[in-house]
Chain A
């Protein structure tokens, strides 16, 4: 089975982020990046499907130069090769533009299965996988918690709201968006890290993929300004010496929360 995993690199979970000068993105200096959480689970699922059914796992990733670090990590875990799309000059907050570029990279490869994360931790549209599926004419399923491939079809368990689940079956080729927690993610081994050095990372630009520059430059949605959210509640902030914090907090638990 030929499997693609769409992998995005995002700031580490507990990075303390600042908005950049023109207010349209974060200031990336001094920020550490990692593989987007649900993509990481998607990668693991791709590797497990390959181990079971044979075939290959191809990482498809778009972003600035730093993205290659995430790609190398995925290759070290066992992905076979990668397509890296350098998005310098076309970076966009529009999910359609991003999906179009990713779909253009996927199309000529004719994958049996394309996996993505459910949602990116930076833009957070939760749309890219579904749009890619539509652009490639593939059936799709979202928020997937379990996969089972047989006879040209894939049966998946989808998470629904409030503790409900659903089994659905769709024909291959298919696209799935993966929810975190469906498997246990492996660590890269030293051997894997060494082997990754010899694996192919094919670097392309959106122009190489035959995409029209004008189209990529006129988004359907535009991000104007990013800012620290406006507080809706009066929060009493306690900071400083732990002992002092604790004595103030205990008073509040006694007199305000009334639980002591």
Chain B
């Protein structure tokens, strides 16, 4: 019978991805509740020392998956290797961190195993001994309860921050080299080049005050409202992705999973809905103010102060009032 929680340890050959540590933390708690062992899989070319590091955590076994074909990550290589391990170990659950790499191959892996996957899960709870997994829907406007039906294994990827990797428990696990046979596996992806995008002109991580513009501003010309407000506060202007996609602001001002991560004293979000990919880049801010006309906008869930109003009415007033307060 399928048993155990297999955690896939994403790494770049040198370091374990933080999201994988989070998934392992989740697996430790989950395992205690369902009374099952935890396994980890470390794929790569020479990952023995990473596997040792993982083995220092509380879990039952670490599998090393080494092959020349796993030197560079490719969906074909990873899918084939992990399929072989899953067929052999027969875990009940396969856990991942919801990283870009996992987005790229995990649905394929689940499909070749003829099983479904729940992606971007933000938590779980037990109901009558069965786990109910929670996901966001409609860009964070709602949460939804999902269960797996049918047979294991069940594939689950967890959103960044679902579990706190600082709570990872130490232990001592056996390390086993799993014998892979990738000789017949064709790797169709040729990896050409990995590089860092345009050099950042602004380092928003140093700003104490950030006023961030969202699509609620409607058009480029209206950005003046946030520039004026930022000036009054002596802060920098940042933005959500669509604002940069549309070319209203350069991408080095983008906050979020594909932009910068900031934690200023004040983050003032103007016309931003609060999609998780934005929130991960700013939720560490000391004080968050959100201005949004939709009382149900997800940004209000993480704001200290939520202003439910039309930004076109409030922002100019606010700029004026701040200038007056400063002059006083």
User: Is chain B found bound to chain A in the same assembly?
Assistant: yes
Q: Are B132 and A224 in contact (CB under 8 A)?
A: yes
Identify which of A135, A141, A246, A256 contacts B111 (C-beta below 8 A).
Answer: A135
Identify which of B132, B142, B193, B245 contacts A229 (C-beta below 8 A).
Answer: B142
Chain A residue at minimal CB-CB distance from B115: A220
B314 within 8 A of A: yes
Q: Are B188 and A11 in contact (CB under 8 A)?
A: no
A249 within 8 A of B: yes
Q: Are A224 and B146 in contact (CB under 8 A)?
A: yes
Size class of the A contact interface (CB-based, 8 Å) = 35 or more
Identify which of B140, B191, B209, B244 contacts A181 (C-beta below 8 A).
Answer: B244
Chain A residue at minimal CB-CB distance from B265: A259
A-B contact count (CB 8 A): 268
Enumerate A172-198 residues with CB–CB distance to B below 8 Å.
179-181, 184
Select the residue from B110, B189, B242 with max chain A CB neighbours within 10 A: B189
Enumerate A121-170 residues with CB–CB distance to B below 8 Å.
121-127, 130-131, 133-135, 139-143, 155, 158-170
A130 to B140, alpha carbons, bound, how many Å? 22
Q: What is the interface of chain B mostly: helix, strand, loop, or mixed? A: mixed
Chain B residue at minimal CB-CB distance from A180: B245
Q: Are A124 and B137 in contact (CB under 8 A)?
A: yes
Q: Are B188 and A218 in contact (CB under 8 A)?
A: no
Q: Are A233 and B196 in contact (CB under 8 A)?
A: no
Segment from A69-77, A78-86, A93-101 that makes contact with B: A93-101
Known contacts A127-B119, A221-B147, A259-B266; is-contact A17 B244 (Cβ 8 Å): no
Q: Are B192 and A155 in contact (CB under 8 A)?
A: yes
Q: Are B149 and A242 in contact (CB under 8 A)?
A: no
A140 to B132, alpha carbons, bound, how many Å? 31
Interface residues on chain B, number (Cβ under 8 Å): 94
Q: Are B107 and A127 in contact (CB under 8 A)?
A: yes
Known contacts A236-B306, A237-B306, A260-B326; is-contact A223 B136 (Cβ 8 Å): no
Segment from B39-47, B169-177, B219-227, B296-304 that makes contact with A: B296-304
Q: Are B301 and A229 in contact (CB under 8 A)?
A: yes
A235-260 CB mask vs B (1 if < 8 Å, else 0) is 11111001101110110111011111
Segment from B22-30, B60-68, B286-294 that makes contact with A: B286-294
Binding site for A on B (CB under 8 A): 75-76, 99-100, 103-105, 107-108, 110-112, 115-120, 132, 135-150, 188-197, 200, 208-209, 215-216, 233, 235, 241-242, 244-247, 251, 257-261, 265-266, 273, 286-287, 289, 293-296, 298, 300-310, 313-314, 317-318, 321-322, 325-326
The 5 closest A-B pairs by CB, nearest first: A220-B116, A181-B245, A127-B107, A257-B287, A139-B188
Other than the known A166-B194, A229-B298, A257-B289, what 14 A-B pairs have Cβ atoms closer than 8 Å?
Answer: A130-B104, A134-B111, A159-B258, A168-B191, A227-B143, A233-B304, A238-B305, A245-B309, A246-B318, A249-B321, A254-B325, A256-B304, A259-B233, A259-B235
